Chain A
Amino acid sequence: MNFFVENLPYILAGISVGGQYALIAIGYTMVYGILRLINFAHGDMFMVAGLVMVYLAASLPVYIAIPIVIVFTVVLGCTIEVVAYRPLRSAPRMSIMISAIGVSYLLQNTALYVTGGLTQTYPTIPWLAKTVTVFGAHTKMVTLITPVLTIALVIALVILIKYTKIGMAMRAVSRDFETSQLMGIDINRVITVTFIIGSFLAAIGSILYFSNYTGVMPTSGSMPGLKAFVAAVFGGIGSIPGAVIGAFIIGICENIIKGMELTVFSNAFTFVLLIIILMVKPTGLFGEKNIDKV
């Protein structure tokens, strides 16, 4: 109990960051499930969403800026898919991964150019930045909203995947790319929808994440991106609930480590966790085993 009370602020922050990671992780896990591609650019898209918000909020009220940010991110996600991934669909997997790395490099350098390398202050969104007190710990409203919103969005997503036609198509494509193509599923449409969902969630995650951290830098996206990917692997890549649980675990652990004054290792910890899970259970918590055909 003592541990809990002492670490309450960190645990709260962890749950909040975990929720934000979860929103990014879903994008990774869904794209990986379908294309078998680690979308290295996903984290940078998250950063771009943050920057766009900064620039928009400078001249527009927040309630107009937010929808524009979301739409922009979705369009960006789909554009990346069409321009950088679609032409390489039949290429070796290494090429498409390199393309993803190239996009990430491009987005970061563009952001560097636009911002001039300076940290941009994230606008304060009034109802997210409000301070509240939970069990004697002071925290921002966003800390409480994040997990609730995350879980609501995930439930909506799971329902979408389970019960709609496009959801069924997505499941089919992630199970067997070629066969579902033969069954008349429009692969490109499914992939586009996947990127729309992923980008949408990344945009929301970005708003919540940066509300907590106040500053956006061109490199702000890469670490949360990698961590979200680790979360996706941890939960079993391709599994949405897995990604969410993984993200919460990583978020909480990381913040407890920060609480123990080992901040430099909070990033490293994530990767230690990744390596352990890959050693012990390479398919993650909820992943399925794939057998190579010889």
Chain B
Amino acid sequence: MTELTKRNKSILSVIVCAVFLAAVYIGDMLVPPTSGMRMLFTVLEKGSVYALVAVSMNLLNGFTGLFSLGQAGFMLIGAYIYAIFSIPTAMRDSVYQYFEGGLIKFSVTENLGNALGTVMGDFGVMLGEHIGMIFLMLCAGILTAGVAALIGLPVLRLKSDYLAIATLGFAEILRAFFQWKAAGPITNSSNLLRSYTTYETPLFPVIAAGLCIAFIVLLINSSYGRAFKAIRDDEIAAEAMGVNLFKHKQMSFIISSFFAGLGGALLAMFQSSVASTPFTSNMTYEILLIVVIGGIGSVTGSIIGAYLFVACSEWWLRGLDSGAFLGISAGFMRPGFRKVVFAVIIMCIVLFYSRGIMGNKEFSWEGLVGFFKRIFSGKKKTSEKNHKTNTDKEKEAR
């Protein structure tokens, strides 16, 4: 098995993907809700959402060379669009308690569920709800993309660092808008949105994020992707080669925002309640740091980075907060210590390992074989294998 044909590789990828998804499905059924291993699924779900958002940011920052810091703002739009339109009508009075039940009196997921439920019974309810969820996710993406198109008009004419500040600023404006009292009947102002429809199986975010990432990979490997990379490498030369700078920047910006919005919707589902407060510049920074950890300009890297980031912050480094980590216990390990350690690790990566995990390379079966040959012993963490398999979807797409 030294030389893999293209066909064999795609078959291999499809098989690995299917096995992985089946494993998630079965695992989800088998692991009881009280088990510590549930954490694995939390990481898988949140990691998938972050992977999608990180890849969408990478499309802008790593592949088009636009240093944009608006990701949190776009996720906020997506999350809100999804949440607002899927809160069941019965719950609206309690959710919008300060706004007399809010302005919107319907729920896309509930209504669709009921409509199909009358025809097909319980299965119809489930089907209707899922159609509604997917429809709302797409709406979240499209509306976010629309907002991005408007923001892009002025902002994309700016140079690198001004662009960074302006996008950061727009994200802040968006957040202010969602907290605005006058918009309360729709956005619930700064109060929590909750009780909306969410997914039931961890497969949902994994598949949704996987499909979206597959699209981004296909785009990057198309002629448009080459134009984006040309802009990143040298704007003046790209323009001299006939690449319309503004059109392509706008395109990249809109597509990236579409997926950020969609990712926001997925995040809303994962959290099962959403408020505008956490969507600050700090959230954008975290996503940017994921991209950096994985390697700017590598989709695989962003995916691995996202899972590592989520696994560390939600799971592996938890002990640092509670006072016991790897058998060491000390008084200084109290809440917040984990994040300090984490920030130090990130700074070390930025300073000493700036290429990140993958540099600008992508996953390939040859690369994986080579990697195993190099380390010679087959010892690898199971979780890391999961990351790899997830990236296969891209491979399959090629």
Please list the residues of chain A having a beta carbon within 8 angstroms of any beta carbon in chain B. 32, 36-38, 83-84, 87-88, 91, 93-95, 97-99, 101-106, 108-110, 112-114, 116-117, 219, 222, 226, 229-230, 233, 264-265, 267-268, 270-272, 274-275, 278-279, 282, 292, 294
* Cβ-defined partner of A271 (8 Å) among B169, B342, B346, B354: B169
Contact of A106 with B351 in the complex, beta carbons under 8 Å: no
Contacts of B176 in A (CB 8 A): 264-265, 267-268
A32-B161, A102-B350 given. 5 additional CB < 8 A pairs?
A97-B67, A226-B168, A268-B176, A271-B173, A282-B159
Given contacts A91-B354, A294-B236, contact A268 B177 (CB under 8 A): yes
Q: Does B222 belong to the interface (CB within 8 Å)?
A: no
Contacts of B281 in A (CB 8 A): 222, 226
Chosen A-B contacts, 11 in total, with CB atoms closer than 8 Å, are A99-B351, A101-B289, A102-B350, A103-B347, A222-B281, A233-B165, A264-B179, A271-B166, A274-B165, A279-B157, A292-B236
Nearest chain-B residue to A261 (Cβ)?
Answer: B181
**Secondary structure at chain A's binding surface: helix, strand, loop or mixed?**
helix
How near does chain A come to B237, taking the closest CB pair, in angstroms? Answer: 9
Once the chains are docked, how many angstroms separate the CA of A97 from the CA of B292? 12
* Cβ-defined partner of A113 (8 Å) among B160, B170, B180, B336: B336
How near does chain A come to B246, taking the closest CB pair, in angstroms? Answer: 14
Once the chains are docked, how many angstroms separate the CA of A101 from the CA of B335? 23
Contact of B169 with A113 in the complex, beta carbons under 8 Å: no
Contact of B169 with A226 in the complex, beta carbons under 8 Å: yes
Q: Does B340 belong to the interface (CB within 8 Å)?
A: yes
Q: Does B98 belong to the interface (CB within 8 Å)?
A: no
Contact of A264 with B343 in the complex, beta carbons under 8 Å: no
How near does chain B come to A109, taking the closest CB pair, in angstroms? Answer: 4
Contact of A267 with B162 in the complex, beta carbons under 8 Å: no
Given contacts A84-B351, A106-B347, A222-B281, contact A264 B181 (CB under 8 A): yes
Q: Does B154 belong to the interface (CB within 8 Å)?
A: yes
Given contacts A116-B335, A222-B281, contact A109 B347 (CB under 8 A): no
Interchain residue pairs A-B with the least CB separation, the first 4: A271-B169, A113-B336, A106-B343, A268-B176
Given contacts A268-B176, A268-B177, contact A233 B162 (CB under 8 A): yes
Contacts of B334 in A (CB 8 A): 113, 116
Contacts of A32 in B (CB 8 A): 161
Q: Does B296 belong to the interface (CB within 8 Å)?
A: yes
Interface 1/0 per residue, B120-163 and A, CB below 8 Å: 00000000000000000000000000000000001101111110
Contact of A110 with B343 in the complex, beta carbons under 8 Å: yes
Contact of A109 with B343 in the complex, beta carbons under 8 Å: yes
* Cβ-defined partner of B342 (8 Å) among A37, A94, A109, A222: A109
Contact of A271 with B170 in the complex, beta carbons under 8 Å: yes
Contacts of A229 in B (CB 8 A): 165
Once the chains are docked, how many angstroms separate the CA of A37 from the CA of B160? 11
Contact of A98 with B288 in the complex, beta carbons under 8 Å: yes
Give the interface size class of chain B. 35 or more
Contact of B339 with A109 in the complex, beta carbons under 8 Å: yes
Contact of B340 with A110 in the complex, beta carbons under 8 Å: yes
Contact of B154 with A112 in the complex, beta carbons under 8 Å: no
Nearest chain-B residue to A270 (Cβ)?
Answer: B169
Contacts of B158 in A (CB 8 A): 278, 282
Contact of B339 with A113 in the complex, beta carbons under 8 Å: yes
Once the chains are docked, how many angstroms separate the CA of A274 from the CA of B177? 17
* Cβ-defined partner of B165 (8 Å) among A87, A109, A230: A230
Residue of B154, B296, B339 with highest tally of chain A CB at under 10 A: B339
How near does chain A come to B331, taking the closest CB pair, in angstroms? Answer: 13
Once the chains are docked, how many angstroms separate the CA of A202 from the CA of B281? 21
Nearest chain-A residue to B180 (Cβ)?
Answer: A264
* Contacts of B165-207 to chain A: CB distance below 8 A: 165-166, 168-170, 172-173, 176-177, 179-181
Contacts of B20 in A (CB 8 A): none
Contacts of B170 in A (CB 8 A): 271, 275
Once the chains are docked, how many angstroms separate the CA of A114 from the CA of B181? 34
Given contacts A264-B176, A267-B172, A275-B155, contact A105 B166 (CB under 8 A): no
Given contacts A112-B339, A271-B170, contact A105 B354 (CB under 8 A): no
* Cβ-defined partner of A106 (8 Å) among B155, B162, B173, B344: B344
Q: Does B282 belong to the interface (CB within 8 Å)?
A: yes
Q: Does B337 belong to the interface (CB within 8 Å)?
A: yes
Nearest chain-A residue to B160 (Cβ)?
Answer: A93
Contact of B354 with A95 in the complex, beta carbons under 8 Å: yes
Contact of B180 with A94 in the complex, beta carbons under 8 Å: no
Once the chains are docked, how many angstroms separate the CA of A70 from the CA of B155? 37
Contact of A282 with B162 in the complex, beta carbons under 8 Å: yes
Contacts of A106 in B (CB 8 A): 340, 343-344, 346-347
Contacts of A102 in B (CB 8 A): 289, 343, 346-347, 350
Q: Does B285 belong to the interface (CB within 8 Å)?
A: yes
How near does chain B come to A22, taking the closest CB pair, in angstroms? Answer: 18
Contacts of B342 in A (CB 8 A): 109
Once the chains are docked, how many angstroms separate the CA of A45 from the CA of B319? 29
How near does chain A come to B29, taking the closest CB pair, in angstroms? Answer: 37
Once the chains are docked, how many angstroms separate the CA of A64 from the CA of B336? 30
Contact of B180 with A265 in the complex, beta carbons under 8 Å: yes
Residue of B158, B161, B170, B281 with highest tally of chain A CB at under 10 A: B161
Contact of A38 with B164 in the complex, beta carbons under 8 Å: yes
